[in-house]
Amino acid sequence: MAWVKLFKKPVSDIGKSYQPGSMVSLALTKGLLNEPGQNSCFLNSAVQVLWQLDIFRRSLRQLPGHFCLGDACIFCALKSIFTQFQHSRERALPSDNLRHALAETFKDERRFQLGLMDDAAECFENILERIHLHIVSDIGMETCTSKSCITHQKFAMTLYEQSVCRSCGASSDPLPFTELVHYVSTTALCQQVECVLEKSERLRPDTFGELLQAASTTGDLRNCPSNCGQSIRIRRVLMNCPDIVTIGFVWDTEQSDLTEDVIRSLGPHLSLCELFWRVADENGRRTELLLVGMICYSSRHYCAFAHHTKTSRWVFFDDATVKEVGVRQSGGEVVPFRNRRAYP
Ligand SMILES: [Zn+2]
Ligand SMILES: [Zn+2]
Ligand SMILES: [Zn+2]
User: Which tens digits make up the pLDDT trace of 292-340?
Assistant: 899 998 888 999 999 887 788 889 999 999 999 875 544 443 333 332 3
- Residue-wise pLDDT tens digits, 81-105: 999 999 999 999 999 999 999 999 9
82 CA to centre of ligand 1 in angstroms: 14
pTM score: 0.85
Task: Indicate whether 142 and 165 sit together in one domain.
Answer: no
- Residue-wise pLDDT tens digits, 104-154: 999 999 999 999 999 999 999 999 999 999 999 888 888 899 999 999 999
Closest ligand, as measured to the CA of 80: 1
pLDDT of residue 330: 45
Range of the domain at 142: 27-155+301-326
Query: Is 123 a domain residue?
Result: yes
Report whether pLDDT(201) > 50: yes
Could you tell me what percentage of the chain is helix, strand and coil, using 3-state DSSP and rounding each to the nearest 5? 40, 25, 40
229 CA to centre of ligand 1 in angstroms: 55
301 is catalytic: yes
Query: Is 205 a domain residue?
Result: yes
Q: How far is CA 52 from the centre of its chain?
A: 12
Give me the catalytic one of 144, 165, 301, 307: 301
Query: Is 59 a domain residue?
Result: yes
Query: Is 6 a domain residue?
Result: no
Query: Is 281 a domain residue?
Result: yes
Query: Is 239 a domain residue?
Result: yes
Query: Is 1 a domain residue?
Result: no
Closest ligand, as measured to the CA of 158: 2
Mean pLDDT of 177-196: 91
Contacts of 218 (CB under 8 A, 6+ apart): 188, 191, 192, 233
The span from the CA of 72 to the CA of 153, in Å, is 25
- Round the average pLDDT of the chain to a whole number and report it: 84
Query: Is 18 a domain residue?
Result: no
Task: Indicate whether 164 and 284 sit together in one domain.
Answer: yes
Task: Indicate whether 226 and 100 sit together in one domain.
Answer: no
Task: Indicate whether 176 and 117 sit together in one domain.
Answer: no
Number of folded domains that form the chain? 2
Lowest mean pLDDT among 46-55, 81-90, 195-204: 195-204
